[in-house]
Copies of this chain bind each other. A is one copy, B any other.
Amino acid sequence: MAKKTIIVFSGEYDKLMAAFIIANGAAAMDDEVVLFFTFWGLNALRKPEATPSSVSATKSGLQRMFGRMMARGPERQALSKMNFVGVGQRLMKRVMRDENVMSLTELIDSAREQGVKIIACTMSMDVMGIRKEELIDDIEYAGVAAYLGEADESNVNLFI
């Protein structure tokens, strides 16, 4: 048994798939897994529904604009390639269903059930203007020092 960390930076649909396939695989082998969400990766942790206006009110105009332009939740993230305004992403999802591959949402649920730890990077939240109220429940919040502490205890550390 050994620990694994993954920095989830890019947040694209296919890269999220890769991160959660590895996380589930490692958790199934009784590894401890820590996913550290930074920058665009944070969008995958946002609740799909529109940000409540009480939360938007705490943001600057720029942050509100930034927030509105970025897709909320894992299923709306684009592919890193061949996305074609979402068509490629929908095609990939359909092929996955045909081949009985778990969907991204199922992979995330499975990872959480297996105890994979999800940490949102607080410094990136400031940069992206993302508030805790926008993110899914039962996750942790920490900075780079916490990441490094986890990474020091891990034998596999990836940046995706």
| Partner-B contacts on A (CB < 8 A) | 2, 7, 9-10, 14-15, 17-18, 21-22, 24-26, 28-29, 31, 38-40, 60, 62-63, 65-66, 69-70, 80-82, 91-92, 94-96, 98-99, 101, 123, 126-129, 143-145, 147-148, 151-152, 154-160
| Copies, count | 3
The answer to whether B2 and A9 have CB atoms under 8 Å apart is no
In the complex, chain B residues whose CB is within 8 Å of the CB of A95? 60, 62-63, 66, 126-129
The answer to whether B148 and A126 have CB atoms under 8 Å apart is no
In the complex, chain B residues whose CB is within 8 Å of the CB of A25? 143-145, 147-148
Q: Which one, B39, B60, B96, B144, contacts A98 given CB within 8 A?
A: B60
In the complex, chain B residues whose CB is within 8 Å of the CB of A92? 66, 127
Q: Which one, B18, B29, B129, contacts A9 given CB within 8 A?
A: B18
The answer to whether B147 and A126 have CB atoms under 8 Å apart is no
In the complex, chain B residues whose CB is within 8 Å of the CB of A40? 14, 80-81
